[in-house]
Homo-oligomer: A and B are copies of this chain.
Amino acid sequence: MSKCTVVLAYSGGLDTSCILAWLKEEGYDVITYLANIGQDEDFESARKKAETLGATKVFIEDLRAEFVQDFIWPAVQANAVYEDRYLLGTAIARPCIAQRQVEIARQEGAQFVSHGATGKGNDQIRFELTCYALYPEVIAPWRIPKFYNRFRGRTDLMEYAQCHAPGDLYLMTKNPEDSPNARDLLEIEFKKGVPIKVTNMNEGKSVDSPLDIFSYLNEIGGKHGVGRIDIVENRFIGMKSRGIYETPGGTILLQAHLDIETFTMDKEVRKIKQGLGVKFSELVYNGFWYSPECDFVRQCIAKSQENVEGKVQLSVFKGQVYILGRESPKSLYNEELVSMDVQGDYDPCDASGFIRVNAVRLREHHRLQGFFNTKQ
């Protein structure tokens, strides 16, 4: 009798190795799939481990360029930040990884996909909503009592190792206290709201492909300890959890994009787009990348970015990003209009009418409320 096939998102670690072995035991043919989205990993050793454990087939997919361009860039356009602080690094990676896994499952005729995400976290949702949106069936061992009752001890150990070893927590960023005493000066050029070139103004070096730009900003940000946070966050399932994250390149891009966006975007468009960005962040955090609403919001945000273009100069130093200046052919900043010395196309007397009309409502309110009566 022909066995069912599962495509397992495999990391090479203890956790998903257990799952691989267990799925085999349960009678499945297992295809492992490991996505390279830029993490520091020994892919070949993972391949060997998978083969040793009996994987029918091993896929190692380089998704780095796709990840930057199709997933990170829209988040840059959105100024995506969850709950005012979290830059969504992990959250954005999940749909990228899962959509390729679904493609492999379809191509290989697999009946199931599987993953190692646990039953209380966000990643199970991000992973599975993508899968369900795109169709296959999911096996989530950490929600199957037969599996988790057997392996719980092992997890305890791993979790312990993971949570109580703060020295290892940050992989990309230096401790700002140990970071260089000299700053790096960068110029980032944007077009349609995404970076198209980064130049190191000290060294003259520049990069211009999406992947090179993002890698280079991760390198510079990491060197200066940019983008570390220790937060409490609200998971989709309603628990609060503690998160410790590092997003060096993302933090630099967020600051630079905020700056060029405000420089080139109309104030009222910005306000509407800010609301859409908050929505986008929440959707991505909760795993709804492949949803009609996220699609809609992404398209609206992309629309807003048509004139977000120009160069931002900034310095990176001891964990901080300082914006130094900006220029743009699409700038809405009009030096003459705003100048104290020149009147420009603006009559200061108009402000009197503007203020008095804005006050009509306030005067009525205070007339009726008798403000001073209650105050005195």
Q: Enumerate chain A interface residues (CB-CB to B < 8 A).
A: 79, 83-85, 106, 118-120, 124-125, 128-129, 132-135, 140, 142-143, 145, 148, 152, 155-156, 159, 176-177, 183, 228-235, 237-242, 258-259, 262-263, 266-276, 278-279, 282, 288, 290-293, 296-297, 299-300, 303-304, 317-320, 322-326, 330, 332-334, 337-338, 340-341, 345-366, 368, 371-372
Q: A143-B348, A278-B274 are in contact. Are A361 and B323 (CB under 8 A)?
A: no
B355 touches A125 (CB 8 A): yes
A348 touches B293 (CB 8 A): no
B352 touches A351 (CB 8 A): no
B350 touches A352 (CB 8 A): yes
A230 touches B353 (CB 8 A): no
Q: A231-B323, A340-B120, A351-B143 are in contact. Are A238 and B364 (CB under 8 A)?
A: yes
Nearest residue in B to A354 (C-beta to C-beta)?
B357
A263 touches B359 (CB 8 A): no
A228 touches B322 (CB 8 A): yes
B230 touches A332 (CB 8 A): no
Shortest CB-to-CB span from A184 to chain B, Å, is 13
Residues of B close to A270: CB separation below 8 A: 83, 234
Shortest CB-to-CB span from A38 to chain B, Å, is 24
A240 touches B323 (CB 8 A): no
A368 touches B332 (CB 8 A): yes
Residues of B close to A143: CB separation below 8 A: 348-349, 351-352
Shortest CB-to-CB span from A59 to chain B, Å, is 18
Decide if the interface of chain A is mainly helix, strand, loop or mixed.
Answer: helix
Q: List 8 A-B contacts (CB under 8 A).
A: A132-B362, A152-B341, A238-B267, A238-B360, A268-B292, A296-B303, A320-B320, A353-B354
A259 touches B232 (CB 8 A): yes
Nearest residue in B to A363 (C-beta to C-beta)?
B132
Q: A293-B272, A341-B156 are in contact. Are A323 and B120 (CB under 8 A)?
A: no
Q: A332-B364, A351-B353 are in contact. Are A296 and B304 (CB under 8 A)?
A: yes
Q: A133-B362, A323-B229, A363-B132 are in contact. Are A350 and B348 (CB under 8 A)?
A: no
Q: Please give me the 9 A-B residue pairs with the lowest Cβ-Cβ distance, nearest first.
A: A353-B353, A119-B348, A238-B361, A132-B359, A234-B267, A318-B318, A268-B293, A350-B353, A354-B357
Q: A135-B372, A290-B366, A352-B353 are in contact. List 5 more A-B contacts (CB 8 A).
A: A177-B317, A240-B334, A268-B291, A292-B365, A332-B365
Nearest residue in B to A226 (C-beta to C-beta)?
B320
Residues of B close to A140: CB separation below 8 A: 351-352
Nearest residue in B to A314 (C-beta to C-beta)?
B230
Residues of B close to A234: CB separation below 8 A: 262, 267, 270
A262 to B233, CA, bound (A): 7
B345 touches A363 (CB 8 A): yes
B124 touches A365 (CB 8 A): no
A79 to B83, CA, bound (A): 12
A354 touches B359 (CB 8 A): no
B362 touches A291 (CB 8 A): yes
A358 touches B238 (CB 8 A): yes
A340 touches B156 (CB 8 A): yes
Residues of B close to A132: CB separation below 8 A: 355-356, 359, 362-363
